[in-house]
Copies of this chain bind each other. A is one copy, B any other.
Amino acid sequence: MCSLDFSWFNSGHFVDVIEWIGTFAFAISGIRLAAKKDFDLFGAYVVGLLTAIGGGTIRDLLLQTNPFWMSNSRYMICTAVALLFVILFRKHIVKLNITFFIFDTIGLALFTVVGIEKTLGFGHPFWVAAIMGTITGVAGGVLRDICIAEIPLIFRKEIYASSCLLGCLCYYICNYIGISLVANQLLTSFVIILSRVIAVKNGIGLPKLKSESD
């Protein structure tokens, strides 16, 4: 009698929810940095938006297709909600750092998978798809850091892009073996999330290039 309704959990809706979570977390990261740099409301909104949609926009320009956010206003709305959230819960947001880290990592995984699949759909070889997946995941953060006139974080700290690339490798192998698409998507996301969580928990980073004078 009492049957639970899992229709919400079907593929389309599920991806939508993940996309909201990812967009929201990316926007929050941009808005928080903007607040530290004394930005006004407009500036904070733009930096939040660039962080959230910048990677996908660069990907779409390189693929010679219409930027994805033009066909749906949800990304604008989601960033506005994120701005409101930061204004209202400013004092408490620090306590949510771990939550945002998780959201951000889930977003990274989804964005990477979306980037890979969109590029393959355009008929490009896999190495191009891997680059596009990584751009989708990380380029928004690079634009964010350029807007606040700092050296992009991902070039110096944190396993972030490396998780994307590991995910791309996983996707390629799964695809080669012939695993089903959904299983591949889940496994790739899992690899990205797990590798980032492990790296951050243990303070693992890529080795730095030594300067010539060292």
Q: How many residues from A make CB contacts under 8 Å with B? A: 59
A64: interface (CB < 8 Å) = yes
Chain B neighbourhood of A148, CB < 8 A: 151
Residue A6 lies at the interface, judged by CB distance under 8 Å to chain B = no
Complex interface: chain B residues within 8 A of A155 (CB):
34, 39-40, 42-44, 46-47, 147
Q: Would you give the 0/1 interface string for A156-191, flagging 1 where the beta carbon is closer than 8 Å to chain B?
A: 110001100000000000000000000000000000
Q: Could you list which residues of chain A lie within 8 angstroms of chain B, going by C-beta atoms?
A: 31-32, 34-44, 46-47, 57, 61-62, 64-67, 70, 73, 76, 86-87, 90-91, 93-94, 124-125, 127-128, 131, 142, 146-152, 154-157, 161-162, 205-212, 214
* Sample of 5 further A-B pairs with CB below 8 A, known A41-B207, A44-B155, A46-B161: A38-B208, A40-B208, A43-B154, A64-B65, A70-B128
- Can you list 21 A-B pairs, Cβ within 8 angstroms, ordered by A? A39-B156, A39-B209, A40-B155, A40-B205, A40-B208, A41-B209, A42-B154, A42-B155, A42-B161, A43-B156, A61-B61, A61-B62, A62-B67, A73-B127, A86-B209, A87-B209, A142-B147, A146-B149, A147-B151, A147-B155, A149-B150
